[in-house]
Structure 1
Amino acid sequence: MAEAERIIGTPDTPDAAGDGRERPEDAASGERADSEGTGATGEPGRGEQEPTAAQPRGKRRIAVLFAVAMFAYALDLSTKMIVVAKLEHHPPIEIIGDWLKFEAIRNAGAAFGFGEAFTVIFTMIAAAVIVVIARLARKLYSLPWALALGLLLGGALGNLTDRIFRAPGVFEGAVVDFIAPKHFAVFNLADSAIVCGGILIVLLSFKGLDPDGTVHKD
């Protein structure tokens, strides 16, 4: 009889599935699951890391752009100062016979001596180019584009400085040119930087590479 009471009447021993209480092991495993599961963005283990990784990359590209621009600008400005001081009003200096000379010339037109009647217009265009490049820099994530825009910016700043500060007046100043190849127009280092930057931009556009680093195919 006692044996039957023990079998029928004795309640089951409460276990983890039936007593409604959470064991310490279950709490710990739940915390591990939360820490290893989805992050704040709903993507496993990623959280907010992508934007923070992209921001330093964009800042580095902007730094490259302005470093290239300042180098091109300083090189152009220093060579023009030397040419004005040492070469202006003096005979040309032959570098490679008649094929390449250094000859100081004041150019009121655009690059390579074109359009001398539109000095003010070219000044406004150079200023507009600088503004556009500064706006593009905010979404710049491509190193080749940073180099190209840096060359454009440095060249535009170099010639714009001449337009503003040299004779005959503000926004009408003549640019100092001195590189004189045979059978070609006389130019300066700012012109060279602008041309090289423009060629690089054309090549990048043909390859489908955008300033933000994405590649598109038509």
Structure 2
Amino acid sequence: MSGAPAAFPRRLPWLLLIAAVVLAVDLGTKALVVAKMTPGEPISIIGDVVRLTLIRNSGAAFSMATGMTWLLTLIAVAVVIGVIRIGRTLRSLSWAIGLGLVLGGALGNLVDRLFRSPGPLQGHVIDFIAVTKWWPVFNVADSSIVCGAILLVVLTVFGFEPDGTRAGHDDDGKAGE
């Protein structure tokens, strides 16, 4: 037995379901944007505060790692492998949600890097959500990764463990010494 309380069932199915939903929404919105929008012709949603604008991004947010798509692809593959490894023993629903968001987002951008032009391992990620003129354009996958990462940091700060226990607490829920 892994030592985790039997009261906490494994949460891998939840992690995978959340990742699949994020991936489907990400790929669906990207397909819609590519089919309906022209690069350089933004659509205003809320004045200049929120716009849709089609961008093909070879790097990461804030123009970091531009032209290093192969490296970003390897990082995304490592994230996917790491999340799946953690997910196999996961017993916390909150951790499953956070990791599912990260996994779905990583897979969404990985699909772009693997299969979009200019070619395999060099594909540009489709970004289309613009909030103000000073924030980088992003997509559903990016939002999912950020929200998942924030949730995981909050869980860690407050001592919630992936196995469903809480750091500093005994099995009976009382604070440890």
TM-score range, shorter chain: 0.7 to 0.9
Bigger helix fraction: 1
Relative distance call for 1:112 and 1:176 in structure 2 (3 A) is farther
Alignment-derived partner of residue 68 in structure 2: 118
| CA distance in 1: counterparts of 2:62 and 2:150, whole angstroms | 16
Are positions 1:214 and 2:165 aligned together? yes
| CA distance in 2: counterparts of 1:88 and 1:80, whole angstroms | 13
Gaps of 5+ in 1: 1-50
Alignment-derived partner of residue 24 in structure 2: 74
Higher RCO, Cα 8 Å, sep 6+:
2
The structure 1 residue matched to 2:136, chosen from 185, 189, 192, is 185
Are positions 1:54 and 2:6 aligned together? yes
| CA distance in 2: counterparts of 1:211 and 1:56, whole angstroms | 10
Runs of 4+ aligned residues of structure 1 deviating over 2 Å after TM superposition are 53-56, 111-114
SS at match of 1:149: helix
Q: Contact (CA 8 Å) 1:113, 1:187: kept in 2 or not?
A: no
Gaps of 5+ in 2: 169-175
Q: Contact (CA 8 Å) 2:19, 2:103: kept in 1 or not?
A: yes
Distance apart, 1:55 and its partner CA: 8.8
Q: Contact (CA 8 Å) 2:8, 2:92: kept in 1 or not?
A: no
SS at match of 2:9: helix
Alignment-derived partner of residue 169 in structure 1: 119
Distance apart, 1:169 and its partner CA: 1.0
| CA distance in 2: counterparts of 1:189 and 1:154, whole angstroms | 10
Are positions 1:96 and 2:46 aligned together? yes
Relative distance call for 1:167 and 1:55 in structure 2 (3 A) is farther
Alignment-derived partner of residue 203 in structure 1: 154
| CA distance in 1: counterparts of 2:8 and 2:159, whole angstroms | 24
Residue identity in the other structure for 1:209: F
Bigger Rg, structure 1 or 2: 1
Count, aligned residues: 166
CA RMSD of aligned residues (A): 2.1
Q: Contact (CA 8 Å) 1:112, 1:191: kept in 2 or not?
A: no
